Structure 1
Amino acid sequence: MFGLAAKALLSGMLIVAIAELGKRLPTFAALVASLPLVSVLGMILLWNARPDAENMAVHAEATFWYVLPSLPMFLVMPWLLRHGYGFWTALLAGCLLTVALYLLMAQFGPRLGIRV
């Protein structure tokens, strides 16, 4: 139980640090947020729980393919915000687009030989 709480605390601290940094240096905070810190931490924790090279390889490759459908959100949101849409509307639209693209990836990825 302590391990789970420590993982949650570490994740929360990372999010808070990025948000606080974003108040002063938004571009640098974006750089930090774009780093695959969550993926790296997740892989470390997964490896500690199950040190299996094939399992890790599948996980890392699937992570790559699932990152791709999330990227358009970071173009749609600024476009909407700059064209008068509110933050919550832009965020919702970006999230809905991401979900739709995830579903497309899950549907068509395997047909294209992509392991997801």
Structure 2
Amino acid sequence: MAFATVKVLLTALIVIAISEVAKRSTAIGGIIASLPLTSLLAIVWLYGETGDTNRIARLSLSIFWYVLPSLVLFIVLSVLLAHGMSFWPSLGLSIGATFLAYLVMSAMLARFGVSI
């Protein structure tokens, strides 16, 4: 239970730090947010709990393939907001487009026999 508490607190602190930095500089906030902190935390937590490097390798490869469709969220959100759409509908449509991109990526990986 203590390990889970540490995980939650550290993860929350990172998210809060990013949002606080972004209030002062969106560029620096963007750089920090673009770092694979969530992935690194997940890898460290998984290794700490299992010690299974094969599982870490598979997770790392899965993260690689699914980072690509996740970029759709940022592109769509930016375009919609730049064209005057309000925040919440833009965010909702961006999430929907990202979900579709994940489905397409999953289908493409399966089609080409990529097992993750």
In which range does the TM-score fall when normalised by the shorter chain? over 0.9
- Aligned position for 1:103: 103
Task: Tell me, in whole angstroms, the C-alpha distance in 1 between the residues paired with 2:114 and 2:86.
Answer: 36
Deviation at 1:19, TM superposition (A): 0.6
TM normalised by structure 2 equals 0.94
Deviation at 1:108, TM superposition (A): 2.7
Task: Tell me, in whole angstroms, the C-alpha distance in 2 between the residues paired with 1:73 and 1:55.
Answer: 27
> What's the secondary structure of 2:100's corresponding residue?
helix
Can you give the 5+ residue segments of structure 2 that lack an aligned partner in the other structure?
Answer: none
Task: Tell me, in whole angstroms, the C-alpha distance in 1 between the residues paired with 2:44 and 2:7.
Answer: 11
RMSD (CA atoms): 1.1
Deviation at 1:61, TM superposition (A): 0.3
Task: Tell me, in whole angstroms, the C-alpha distance in 2 between the residues paired with 1:48 and 1:3.
Answer: 10
User: Where in structure 1 do 4 or more consecutive aligned residues deviate above 3 Å?
Assistant: none
Which whole-Å deviations, capped at 9, do the CAs of 1:29-82 have from their partners, x for residues lacking one? 011000001101110111111122221111100110011110021111111101
Deviation at 1:103, TM superposition (A): 1.6
Task: Tell me, in whole angstroms, the C-alpha distance in 2 between the residues paired with 1:110 and 1:62.
Answer: 13
Task: Tell me, in whole angstroms, the C-alpha distance in 1 between the residues paired with 2:85 and 2:53.
Answer: 46
Aligned residues: 116
TM normalised by structure 1 equals 0.94
